[in-house]
Amino acid sequence: MTTVASSTHATGPIGWLHRAEAWLDDKGKGAWIAAMVLAFILFWPVGLALLAYMIWSKKMTCSVSQRRHKGHGRMNINRSTGNAAFDAYKADTLERLEREQDNFEAFLQRLRDARDKAEFDQFMEERARAAQSDRDDETPKEA
């Protein structure tokens, strides 16, 4: 009796699609874009399906962590440049900017507080006027 050994290598259309996806992943985003454009040119529904797959699988996104690993992130501001004079200047400038930011945030908070107080005072005046007009309406007029 012979048994059919199962192959670990996928065959058929699904296996071909997995191999094509792996090949495109190896080539990078440019290959995915080229495949999508070519699919749109040959038969637009396939191009649309490929675009939907690329969006759904997040093939075209670049997260912040990926950009930082590739060297496109922010530079480390605490890192020494090796030039003592420049490092001292940079430290002084950063401290000055932090103080200015704190002062500006305090100024904005004072503005918000003043606006809140003005709105509250206006509310209380309107409430007092409404109460006074209600009292005036309730008092009997003697002729």
Domain residue limits, the chain: 10-62, 82-143
Where does the pLDDT of residue 107 fall: very low under 50, low under 70, confident under 90, or very high at 90 and above?
A: very high
Are 51 and 36 in contact, with CB atoms under 8 Å apart? yes
29 contacts 54 by C-beta, under 8 angstroms: no
Looking at every residue in the chain, the average pLDDT score rounds to 80
pTM beyond 0.75:
no
Residue 56 has pLDDT above 90, yes or no: no
What is the C-alpha radius of gyration for the chain, rounded to an integer number of angstroms? 35
pLDDT bin (cut points 50, 70, 90) of residue 125 is: very high
Instruction: Identify the residue with better confidence: 110 or 134.
Output: 110
Distances in Å between the Cα of 86 and the Cα atoms of 43, 80, 81 are: 59, 9, 8
